[in-house]
Amino acid sequence: MGKRVLILAAIGFPMGVLIAFLIACIGGGSEVQFFSETLLSRMGGNLSAATAVNILVCGLYGSACMVGTVFYDMERWPLALATVLHYLIVVLGCLGCFLLLGWGGGIRDYFITAGLQTAIFFLIWLIMYLRYKAQVKELNELNQKNKQR
């Protein structure tokens, strides 16, 4: 389990940075800035420090989101519990990023982002659920065929 957690964290870090960079590119208009003005002022106007903190926090958030998927590997846990815990990591982690990095204009922006994340989370969860459901059906059919032999 520990090796899997490390691998997921290593995959999640660059994904978190990449997604933050893409969001900065989309929302940046004519001038792409990889950090908020709030973070820049917290860093005393140091562009390098603001960029480094933004990369670190976004990477850690990406790692946390990926590592949260190990909840689904807990065989004794109900699927609903694993889903809720993973969802809380995603949404509360975003709140932490909002507060630490000075994203958005306030709580309204956070709730809009949380709503978008909820929709994306649900869509990914639904796709994975349907995929696994099909695999279970296939395995059950193979099992029935083997019993009939």
Per-residue pLDDT of the chain (149 residues; tens, 9 = 90+): 789 999 999 999 999 999 888 877 776 655 557 788 888 899 998 988 988 999 999 999 999 999 999 998 888 999 889 999 999 999 999 888 888 888 877 788 888 888 998 999 999 889 988 998 999 999 999 888 888 87
pTM of the model: 0.80
Are 104 and 113 in contact by the 8 Å Cβ rule? The answer is: yes
Q: Which long-range contacts (CB under 8 A, 24 or more apart) does 46-49 make?
A: none
Three-state SS at 69: helix
